Amino acid sequence: MYADMGYAKMNDQGNWDDIKIFVAVAEHRSLSQAAKQLNLSQPTVGRRIQALEMALGFSLFTRSPTGYELTESAQHLLPLADQLGSTARQFYLQAQSQKPVTSGRVRIACGETFGRFLTRHAREMSQRHPEISLDIISGFNFVNLEKGEADIAIRNVRPDNPNLFVRQLGQSAYAIYGSQDYVNGDQHALTEQRYHYSRWTTFDGQQGTPPSYIWLKQRVKDAQIGLRCSSSSLLLQAVQQGYGLAPLPCSLAAESPDLVRLTPILEDLQNTLWLVSQRDAHRIPRIQLVARWISDLFELNRTLFAPNQ
């Protein structure tokens, strides 16, 4: 949550890092999930919790069938620990914003499709600014910017939190695509009858509910869905291999110029993309630089996101 901040020691027995670990375990009720959030190993998290308990002189958690439960004493401490972590992060961000240098690490959280797009262009960023390293965190999981889980997020819903800096990037466009082999073998693929007779592939619905998954479920019968995938990469590969048709982001389909686009832009599936960061974090020079790079990259490749009808 507040990793890589290099906090000073709290006292001879514990340190600020142990408090952020305590908050993470309390939130997730799991050592493994807390370790994943903090980019630490599970044994390390367990040892640090034990060290904090030794420093305090009492237990913070009890193990139950549903996970790690706060003890009564820990329940009283959690609001203070959470506030302390938030204050420490604000101090860190304010201090970083005073530094004129742009070197360091910037973490970008986004969906897998936009993550693939950024990864394709990351080398350009590295060549222009070798002093900056990028972490691209892609997937369906929501990240909390105010708790420092990422520096920048790309979202398809505009947040209304006044503590966040928000910039509109533009539209994410979708269309129906299929492989040439599949289209050649399906007499309905080129007509509106595709929604009644064609075979489709989509997400499995287990990793969140992407807009394209909901859109397709409203239009085709379950029996028409021949393959369900857990990621954009697998979905793209399935369409390439001729498993069926799929609504794909145009930026993702552009990776495979051999795919056949069967429809105009699906206007009821378009969504706006927003670049979001915590306001204090956005004042840090290296984060500002990466945010500008993302905005410029989107503008230069706008036809991949909202191509002509």
pLDDT digit string, tens, across residues 90-110: 665 565 555 665 678 999 999
Residue 30 burial class via C-beta count within 10 angstroms: exposed 0-12, middle 13-18, buried 19 and up: middle
Options 3.40.630.30, 3.40.30.10, 3.40.190.10, 3.40.50.1010; CATH for 104-170+271-305 is 3.40.190.10
Please give the residue that has the higher pLDDT: either 51 or 15: 51
Q: Is the pLDDT assigned to residue 55 strictly greater than 70?
A: yes
Per residue in 171-187, pLDDT (tens digit) is: 888 999 999 999 999 99
At residue 47, φ and ψ (nearest 5 deg) are: -65, -40
Q: Is the pLDDT assigned to residue 4 strictly greater than 50?
A: no
Question: Containing H/E element for 195?
Answer: helix 194-197
Give the pLDDT confidence score for residue 260 in this predicted structure. Answer: 96
Percent of all residues in the chain with a pLDDT value above 90, rounded to a whole number: 38
Q: Are 175 and 245 in contact (CB under 8 A)?
A: no
What is the maximum alpha-carbon separation in the chain?
A: 75
Q: Are 265 and 274 in contact (CB under 8 A)?
A: no
- Using pLDDT thresholds of 50, 70 and 90, give the confidence band for residue 12: very low
152, two tokens: 């920048």
Give the pLDDT confidence score for residue 135 in this predicted structure. Answer: 93
Please determine whether the domains at 16-97 and 174-269 fall in the same fold group of CATH.
no
Q: What's the length of the chain?
A: 309
- Using pLDDT thresholds of 50, 70 and 90, give the confidence band for residue 36: confident
Measured distance CA(201)–CA(238) in Å, rounded: 7
Average pLDDT, the chain: 84
Q: Is the pLDDT assigned to residue 241 strictly greater than 80?
A: yes
Measured distance CA(236)–CA(279) in Å, rounded: 36
Q: How far is CA 219 from the centre of its chain?
A: 28
26, two tokens: 């309390």
Q: Is the pLDDT assigned to residue 23 strictly greater than 90?
A: no
Give the pLDDT confidence score for residue 21 in this predicted structure. Answer: 87
Q: Are 239 and 152 in contact (CB under 8 A)?
A: no
Q: How far is CA 11 from the centre of its chain?
A: 36
Give the pLDDT confidence score for residue 26 in this predicted structure. Answer: 87
Measured distance CA(214)–CA(267) in Å, rounded: 15
Residue carrying the six token digits 């936009």: 114
Per residue in 263-283, pLDDT (tens digit) is: 999 988 888 899 999 888 888
Q: Is the pLDDT assigned to residue 191 strictly greater than 90?
A: yes
| CB neighbour list of residue 81: distance below 8 Å, 6 or more residues apart | 19, 22, 23, 26
Where helices occur in the chain by DSSP H, the ranges are: 16-28, 31-38, 42-56, 72-97, 112-128, 180-185, 194-197, 211-217, 232-240, 250-253, 279-282, 285-300, 302-305
Per residue in 65-88, pLDDT (tens digit) is: 888 899 988 888 888 877 776 666
Average pLDDT over residues 216-234: 92
| Topology of domain 174-269, CATH | D-Maltodextrin-Binding Protein; domain 2 (3.40.190)
195, two tokens: 């929604």
Cα end-to-end distance, the chain, whole Å: 43
Structural domain boundaries in the chain: 16-97, 104-170+271-305, 174-269
Options 3.40.50.2020, 1.10.10.10, 3.20.20.70, 3.50.50.60; CATH for 16-97 is 1.10.10.10
Mean pLDDT comparison of 17-26, 134-143, 178-187, highest-scoring range: 178-187
Q: Are 41 and 47 in contact (CB under 8 A)?
A: no
Does the pTM exceed 0.75?
no
Give the pLDDT confidence score for residue 67 in this predicted structure. Answer: 87
